[in-house]
Structure 1
Amino acid sequence: MKVSVILLENVKGIGKKDEIVMVKDGYANNFLFPQKKAVAATNENLNKLRQKNDKKVNDSRKELEASNKLKEEINNKKIVLEVKAGDNGKVFGSIGPKEIIEAIKKQLNIKLDKKLLTSDARIKDLGTHNLVIKLHKEVEANLIIDVKGL
C-alpha cells in the first residue's frame, strides 16, 4: 500500500524538498518518518506547505519590487573616481569592487553589497566605463563610472 508524504529534504530517487510524493507505507514508517525526512500529507501539513510556498512567492515578489526600485535610483547614473595614474592613462593598481561600492555610497547615497558587482569589475584605465550591477536574478542596473587622474 502506498501513502502520500511531504518531503522535508531532498531524498535521492524519491524527490526534492517540499514535494508531495507517493511512497510505500513501510518505507515511510521505517525510514522517512524516523529520519525526519518526510511528514504525512495530512490536511494540516498540506496547509502548512501551502502557506510556506505562498510566503516564498510573496517574499520573492517583494524582493523583485525592491530591486526594480533600486534600479531606478542607480540606472545610468554617473559616479566620478579620482585616482593616481601614469602618463599613459593607466591607473596605478586597479579600482576594484570595494572602491566602487564606497564611491556609490558617498556620491549616490546608496548602500550596496559588493557581491552584486561582477567579479571582473576591475578598472585599470582612465576614462568612462560602464558597469553592470546585478540587483536580482531578473534585474540589472547600468552604472557609468568616470575615472579621472589626479
Structure 2
Amino acid sequence: MKIILTNEVSGLGAAGDVVEVRDGYARNYLVPRGFAIRWTKGGEQDVAQIRRGRKIREIATIEQANEIKGKLEGLPVALKVRAGEGGRLFGSVTPADITTAVKTAGGPDLDKRRVELGTPIKTLGSHRVSARLHPEVVATFEVEVEAA
C-alpha cells in the first residue's frame, strides 16, 4: 500500500515521504495513530505542504546539528515533578516535559518528536535521553528528575 508519512517514523522515513508498506502495517498501525495518510492523487498537494512544514522545523546541516549536540550534551537539565514515597512519579515524564526543561535550562528549542526515550521515566534520579537532531546525529544527555 502506498502511504504519505505525516510524522517521522524511525526506519521508514520522514514527514512528507511517499513510501510503500504492507497493507496491515498501514491499516493497523500507521494510519490509526496519525503517522500516515493513504496516498491519493489529490494527496500530492498535501505532500508539498508537509514538506514545507518539515523544512521550517528541520535542522539543515550536519554542522548545525553537531553544534546543537554540543550545547545539549554539556547542559545540566533538571526537571521537577510530583513524586510519591520511594521516588515513584505520579505518571511519567514525557518528551514534551523534557523539551520544556531543556528550554528552561537555556538550551536550544527542540521538537518533542525528536526526543527518544528508551523506557518511560517513572522514577526520580538521573536518566539518559536521546534526541535525533539529524539522520546522522544523535545527542545523548542527562536529565535529572527531582521531586517538586
Q: What's the TM-score, normalizing by structure 1?
A: 0.55
Q: CA deviation at 1:109?
A: 3.6
Query: Following superposition, which runs of at least 4 residues in structure 1 exceed 4 angstroms of deviation?
Result: none
**1:82-115 C-alpha deviation (Å, 9 max, x unpaired):** 1110112111011101111111111124101011
1:82 to 69, 80, 83: 80
Structure 2 letter corresponding to 1:102 = T
The root-mean-square deviation of aligned C-alpha atoms, in Å, is 2.4
Q: Which runs of 5+ in 1 are unaligned?
A: 1-61
Distance apart, 1:133 and its partner CA? 1.0
> In the TM superposition, what are the counterparts of 1:37-48 in structure 2 within 5 Å?
none
Question: TM-score w.r.t. structure 2 length?
Answer: 0.56
Answering whether residue 80 of structure 2 is matched by residue 69 of structure 1, we say no
Query: Which residue is 1:140 aligned to?
Result: 138
Counterpart CA distance in 1 for 2:98 and 2:86 is 22
2:124 aligned partner: 126
Match 1:94 to one of 92, 95, 98: 92
CA distance in 2, matches of 1:77, 1:114: 17
Measured in 2, the distance between the counterparts of 1:121 and 1:63 equals 29
What is residue 113 of structure 1 aligned with on the other side? 111
Cα displacement string for residues 45-73 of structure 1 (whole angstroms, at most 9, x for unaligned residues): xxxxxxxxxxxxxxxxx511110111111
Identity of aligned residues (%): 33
The letter for the 1-side match of 2:120 is R
Counterpart amino acid of 2:69? Answer: K
Query: Contact between 2:126 and 2:143, CA under 8 Å: does it hold in 1?
Result: yes
**What amino acid maps onto 2:124 in structure 1?**
L
| Segment drifting more, 91-100 vs 109-118 | 109-118
- How many residues align? The count is 92
Change (3 A) 1:76 1:65: same
